[in-house]
Copies of this chain bind each other. A is one copy, B any other.
Amino acid sequence: MKRGVGQGGYSLREKIFKKLRKDILNGKYKAGDSLVEMKLAEEMGVSRTPVREAIRQLELEGLVSSIPNKGVFVEGITRQDIQDIYAIRECMEGLAARWAIERIDEKTLKELENIYDLMEFYTAKGDLDQVGELNSQFHDIIFESTKSKPLMQVLSDFQYYIENIRLASLKAPGRAMQSLIEHKAIVQAFKDRDIEKGERVLVEHIRNSRLNVERMPRA
């Protein structure tokens, strides 16, 4: 079977959704740009149907807005949005820490430690892209450990929104090492099942990340 969007993953719709979302978040499509179904479909070598469905999902996420019979326009996310997201995370990750420490099982805890070890390794090696990827996994594991669908959904989405800027900010001088230390403290609190400490260090980690991002030069 030949496909125009690339193999792997599953339905066309899903692949298209992810591709468009990525392209909006990394700036290929800028705020105000119009997305024409037919044009996108041709570019990707598919029909309008899966493109439409992907767009409907982007619409729900607020990444595009659609004016009936007129067109779909990119909303994107602004620098202000990113700051807001950090502020929201700062208050929600405290909850996440609490719930995760209460509910995480030994196997997942080991996984978390393992990811931390890899972060250590790749930080020493200087492969920050890899560290960024591990960073996402690290926090995703915490989200999932909360066993809370509402919390997971919000935080996972937000984490994806800010992935690019987060990756860039990891490259600020000294930040990678500082971030590593913070993750170490988080892992330790989880191993000790110390809820109060876990809340504190995780929130502090988010705050430091936010401050680091705010110090960054505007893209």
Instruction: Spell out A's residues near B (CB within 8 Å).
Output: 10-11, 13, 49, 52-53, 56-57, 59-62, 68, 77, 80-81, 84-85, 87-88, 91-92, 94-95, 148-151, 153-154, 158, 161
Contacts and interface: CB of A to CB of B under 8 A. Distances in A.
Contacts of A92: 88, 91-92
A13 B69 CA distance: 13
Majority secondary structure, A binding face? helix
Q: How many copies does the complex hold?
A: 2
Contacts of A154: 88, 154
Contacts of A77: 149
Contact of A88 (B13, B60, B151): B151
B150 A81 contact: yes
A28 to B, nearest CB: 20
Contacts of A49: 49
